[in-house]
Amino acid sequence: MPSSKLYNKDGDAKAVNIQKGLEKKLGFLPEAFQVMGRNGDFLEAMLQLHEVAGKGLDPKTKELIALAVSAVNGCVYCFDAHRAFAKQAGVSDEEITAALEVVAQMSAFNNFNKAISLNSDIK
Q: Which of 33, 53, 73 is the last residue of a domain?
A: 53
Q: Report whether pLDDT(80) > 70.
A: yes
CA dist., res. 54 & res. 80, Å (int) = 20
Show the domain range for 36.
1-53
pLDDT in the model for residue 1: 65
The predicted-structure confidence for 60-74, as pLDDT tens digits, reads as follows: 999 999 999 999 999
pLDDT computed for residue 28 by the predictor: 95
Sign of CA dihedral 71, 72, 74, 75: negative
- The answer to whether the beta carbons of residues 35 and 4 sit under 8 Å apart is yes
**pTM for this prediction:** 0.84
Q: Is residue 123 in some structural domain?
A: no
Q: Is the pLDDT of residue 26 over 70?
A: yes
Q: 12 with 60, same domain?
A: no
Catalytic residue annotation: 75, 78
Could you tell me if 49 and 63 lie in one domain? no
Cα–Cα distance, 111 to 27 (Å, whole number): 41
Residues 28-48: what's their mean pLDDT? Answer: 96
